């Protein structure tokens, strides 16, 4: 397997979806909590990226195996078009999952069993997103699971690995019982700050499902647009994107962010133009990329805003 084929199998171009929650989580930890653990960040970034690639490879392998459309199986799916061995792809997936698991266990040793629980949930969702008799991606749940797992899960774990010693969330064992303690204000602020990532990542899945609706139906894959219709799917795509601005502005008002975060408002004219184009046509080759452009533009502005906030602070 060449590196080019490997990158296509794991769809390396889509890894920005996991990179931004990590970057924003790292910067948010530095700004709001004044704390960063460099070693934990390096380890988690490696484990997160490799596991993300593994789940994408599972997705492509399962789509190949379950395909009802011969043309898709032989010419569109990378496993078929590159004539890859299913067994070798499976071994590659096992290796990537094993690597991420070992790093996760070591990070648990460095922090708390809470990380094992959080990481375990993300692992299960990531694997069963496309694996099993009824994968989550073949149900009208893909947007929810991808958005929450990556947009919130990666963001929260990144912050937790930086601030585990601050007891924002703590697990204690006393007299044969376990108790979980949390600081409500800080936890609410973290959830609030994760929403733009949840929505922009969910929109990538939604755009993909809107563009592939007919092809998915031919492969017996019934996603959210199948149930709510294309028109409502496009409206939801727009609503999720515009709502991101509400959470940033609201976050500045209630004290989560510094006013420098309002720089994200400068992206609104471009986002509006992109949403107008997508509303006119939902096509994989020409307009699907708009969802990725929006994610890069909006979350990139978040990164800039947080860096400015740190400088000013």
How many helices (H) and strands (E) are present in the chain, helices listed first? Answer: 15, 2
| Torsion sign across C-alpha atoms 92, 94, 97, 102 | negative
Q: Average pLDDT of 170-188?
A: 86
What are the tokens at 243?
């709502």
**Residue 185: CB partners within 8 Å, gap ≥ 6?**
none
Structure tokens at 200: 């922009």
| Residue 215 pLDDT > 80 | no
Please report, rounded to a whole number, the percentage of residues in the chain having pLDDT higher than 90: 50
Q: What is the pLDDT of residues 137-171, one digit of tens each?
A: 667 777 888 888 889 999 999 999 999 888 888 88
Q: How confident is the model over 108-123, as a mean pLDDT?
A: 89
pLDDT at res. 248: 97
Are the C-beta atoms of 234 and 277 separated by less than 8 Å?
no
Q: What is the residue-averaged pLDDT of the chain?
A: 87
**Cα–Cα distances in angstroms (integers) from residue 75 to residues 57, 72, 138, 262, 284, in the given order:** 17, 5, 21, 45, 16
**Tokens 């219709």 — which residue?**
229
Which residue, chain included where needed, has tokens 């596991």? 51
- The dihedral over CA atoms of 185, 188, 192, 195, expressed in degrees to the nearest 10, equals 160
* Residues 203/151, Cβ–Cβ less than 8 Å: no
pLDDT the model gives residue 99: 95
Q: What is the rounded distance in angstroms from the CA atom of residue 243 to the CA atom of residue 111?
A: 34
pLDDT tens readout for residues 21-65: 999 999 999 999 999 999 999 999 999 999 988 888 888 787 777
Diameter of the chain measured on Cα atoms: 62
In angstroms, the Cα distances linking 210 to 59, 224, 226, 252 are 18, 9, 9, 33
Per-residue confidence band for 105, with pLDDT thresholds at 50, 70 and 90 = very high
pLDDT classification of 208: cutoffs 50, 70, 90: confident
What percentage of the chain carries pLDDT values higher than 70?
92
Q: What is the DSSP letter of 78?
A: H
pTM of the model: 0.88
Q: What average pLDDT does this structure show over 116-120?
A: 88
The Cα–Cα gap between 19 and 262 comes to 22
- Cβ 5 vs Cβ 78: under 8 Å: yes
Residue 222 pLDDT exceeds 80: no
Residue 141: the pLDDT is 77
The first and second tokens of residue 238, run together, are 């727009």
């Amino acid at each position: 397997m060449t590196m080019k084929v490997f990158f296509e199998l794991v769809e390396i171009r889509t890894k920005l979806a996991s990179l931004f929650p990590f970057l924003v989580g790292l910067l948010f930890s530095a700004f709001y909590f004044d704390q960063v653990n460099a070693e934990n960040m390096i380890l988690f970034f490696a484990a997160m990226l490799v596991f993300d690639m593994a789940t994408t490879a599972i997705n492509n392998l399962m789509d190949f195996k379950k395909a009802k459309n011969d043309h898709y199986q032989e010419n569109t799916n990378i496993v078929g078009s590159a004539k890859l061995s299913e067994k070798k792809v499976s071994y590659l997936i096992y290796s990537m999952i094993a690597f991420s698991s070992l790093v996760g266990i070591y990070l648990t040793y460095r922090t708390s069993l809470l990380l094992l629980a959080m990481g375990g949930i993300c692992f299960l969702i990531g694997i069963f997103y496309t694996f099993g008799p009824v994968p989550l991606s073949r149900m009208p749940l893909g947007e929810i699971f991808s958005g929450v797992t990556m947009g919130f899960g990666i963001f929260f774990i990144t912050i937790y690995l930086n601030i585990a010693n601050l007891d924002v969330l703590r697990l204690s064992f006393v007299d044969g019982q376990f108790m979980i303690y949390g600081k409500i204000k800080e936890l609410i602020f973290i959830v609030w700050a994760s929403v733009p990532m949840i929505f922009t990542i969910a929109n990538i899945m939604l755009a993909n499902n809107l563009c592939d609706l007919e092809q998915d139906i031919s492969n017996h894959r019934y996603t959210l647009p199948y149930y709510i219709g294309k028109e409502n799917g496009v409206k939801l795509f727009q609503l999720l994107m515009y709502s991101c601005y509400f959470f940033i502005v609201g976050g500045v008002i209630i004290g989560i962010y510094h006013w420098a975060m309002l720089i994200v408002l400068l992206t609104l004219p471009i986002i509006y133009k992109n949403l107008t184009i997508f509303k006119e046509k939902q096509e994989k080759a020409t307009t699907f990329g708009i969802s990725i452009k929006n994610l890069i533009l909006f979350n990139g502005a978040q990164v800039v805003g947080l860096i400015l906030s740190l400088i000013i602070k």
